[in-house]
A and B are shown apart, each in its own frame.
Chain A
Amino acid sequence: DGGITQSPKYLFRKEGQNVTLSCEQNLNHDAMYWYRQDPGQGLRLIYYSQIVNDFQKGDIAEGYSVSREKKESFPLTVTSAQKNPTAFYLCASATGTKETQYFGPGTRLLVL
């Protein structure tokens, strides 16, 4: 089946710890995106990548980092600089500019 997978489903972070969220797609999509979802705030864009080895900051990139070494993978690292990381994180992909974004099942990050 083609689609977008995110792992893990739940992730726990301790103070001062970096954690990495996985996003993989087998749709052969060029563009990939990371969103953060908080109750009552909709989705906010963290980072996006239109092509391998290139990515751009979204609206709330501070405290996050990404890489795009392979077309199918776009991992997100939540660094210790992100002081309020508790949220639901969604990954999406699209064939390219001006195309529909398709979403993964999400990862819920909780702080211990």
Chain B
Amino acid sequence: AQSVTQPDIHITVSEGASLELRCNYSYGATPYLFWYVQSPGQGLQLLLKYFSGDTLVQGIKGFEAEFKRSQSSFNLRKPSVHWSDAAEYFCAVGPTGGGNKLTFGTGTQLKVEL
């Protein structure tokens, strides 16, 4: 069965420091991969996605992610974190079965220290 693992439940970084959020997936074919961000009490906003092609994907708000098939990973990175980046981040893989279903990780809560 498809699955997504986000090994870090909480991460704290200082403002201006670099960030890497980990995502590992289990999927039987070439996956579609997504990173979403959620502010408290809000819906999910798409940061970036990988469908095919260049394995380094650029997203909004200065984020990027790299698809590494050999490691089954799709880690999210940002070179310099801003206080406004504090939120919860979800990695997702799809399609899982019919209907374009996505399987989500359990999320990583990012705290930014000023």
B-facing residues in A20-59 (Cβ within 8 Å): 31, 33, 40-45, 48, 50, 56, 58
A50-71 vs B: 1/0 string, CB under 8 Å? 1000001010000000000000
A103 to B43, CA, bound (A): 6
A-facing residues in B20-50 (Cβ within 8 Å): 32, 34, 36, 41-46, 49
Which residues of chain A come closer than 8 Å to B42, judged between CB atoms? 105-106
B100 at the interface (CB under 8 A from A): yes
The answer to whether A42 touches B95 (Cβ under 8 A) is no
Q: How many A residues are at the interface, by size bracket?
A: 20 to 34
The answer to whether B43 touches A90 (Cβ under 8 A) is yes
Interface-side segment among A11-19, A73-81, A91-99 = A91-99
A48 to B94, CA, bound (A): 14
The answer to whether B100 touches A96 (Cβ under 8 A) is yes
A-facing residues in B80-109 (Cβ within 8 Å): 90, 92, 94-95, 98-102, 104-107
Most buried by A among B41, B43, B94, B104: B43
The answer to whether A50 touches B99 (Cβ under 8 A) is yes
Q: How many positions in chain B have a CB within 8 Å of any CB in the partner chain? A: 26
Assuming the A-B contacts A100-B49, A103-B45, are A40 and B100 also in contact, with contact meaning beta carbons closer than 8 angstroms in the complex? no
Select one of B4, B9, B94, B98 contacting A56, CB under 8 A: B98
Closest B residue to A10 using CB positions: B41
Select one of A33, A44, A56, A105 contacting B43, CB under 8 A: A105
The answer to whether B46 touches A100 (Cβ under 8 A) is yes
The answer to whether B100 touches A99 (Cβ under 8 A) is yes
A7 at the interface (CB under 8 A from B): no
Which residues of chain B come closer than 8 Å to A4, judged between CB atoms? 43
Select one of B45, B46, B104 contacting A42, CB under 8 A: B104
Residues of B within 8 A of A (CB): 4, 9, 32, 34, 36, 41-46, 49, 51, 90, 92, 94-95, 98-102, 104-107
Residues of A within 8 A of B (CB): 4, 6, 31, 33, 40-45, 48, 50, 56, 58, 88, 90, 92, 94, 96-106, 108
